Structure 1
């Protein structure tokens, strides 16, 4: 049997991750030298802790080994399994990515211009997101279509966010839109 593809591994890993309340975000396979690397990135709406990652890693390793013993998988001379969470270099491609990064800064590119916004609430249909930015002394509240910003990336922020910004991103989608409309009158 050939070395397992990312698609095969995704089919195997997804239900195991889901049993722990985790979403499989990425599987990467690098074949190098005697051992291959299988890197798995998972995430969830609640913070993923190292104990959960260790349990998942042990379960996947046992499952991979059992499938190798039965001839269903063939990793060749061996593999190294790495299980972790996605880094900040993952694009926000799905509504859950935006939801999980609420309160963080994001860079958007529109018409070749970059702008930095703080992520607020998702719309109930998860097609739009509230964005908050400081323009001079004024806070601006906008909404954006997620479909138009699938390549957006979270910005690393070292300073404590301003309390008034965090107050706005804590609002529900409807409350934020109402606030925006009140500010535009």
Structure 2
């Protein structure tokens, strides 16, 4: 199986469903291979793809792979999923799609936790203890979304 051929096959399908290919992994497991397709996208509200979009794209990808020489005759398992909250935010679009969410930023020896308020191609503005702070993306060593189990309804209305 050629990853480049598979990527070339599935990228137009994802695009037709309003999705982007974030990562493609082909892992041989015995006589089979596992094709892990990780997708991302804006979704209708700008906060990422919907489950229905992913399901429709997954079905279309499966059909295309079944008739494509890119996978050959080798048996495979297809897994299509989103980036999830555990993946680091690495591009402006990742920060934008998580606007309103709480994030932890590593800035050299410093760590800052705040809520994303706005994003440009060069910086993210986060709210930390009621004050806004603009952080240049180039200064961020690592950024991850913080899972909030007890976020209040008022927090949701602000976004």
TM bracket (short chain): 0.7 to 0.9
| Ranges in structure 1 where 5+ consecutive residues have no aligned partner | 171-185
Structure-2 residue corresponding to 1:54:
55
Note the residue ranges of structure 2 that are not aligned, 5 or more in a row. none
Change (3 A) 1:166 1:86: same
Aligned partner of 1:86 in structure 2 is 83
Is 1:131 aligned to 2:126, yes or no? yes
Deviation, structure 1 residue 25: 1.3
The 8 Å contact of residues 94 and 150 in structure 1, kept in 2 or not, is answered as no
CA pair 165-16 structure 1, distance change in 2 beyond 3 A: closer
Residue 77 (structure 1) aligns with: 74
Aligned-partner SS, 2:58: helix
Deviations along 1:60-97, one digit per CA (max 9) or x if unpaired, are: 111112113xxxx2355310001111111211111110
**What do you get for the CA RMSD once the two structures are aligned?**
2.2
Structure with higher Rg: it is: 1
Decide whether the 8 Å contact of 2:32 with 2:74 is kept in 1: yes
* TM-score, length of structure 1 as denominator length: 0.74
Take 2:153 and 2:138, find their aligned partners in 1: how far apart are those partners?
28
Which residue matches 1:108?
A: 105
Higher helix share: 1
Q: Deviations over 1:19-70 (max 9, x none)?
A: 11112111121111121110111122224333322221121111112113xx
Q: Structure 1 or 2: larger strand share?
A: 2
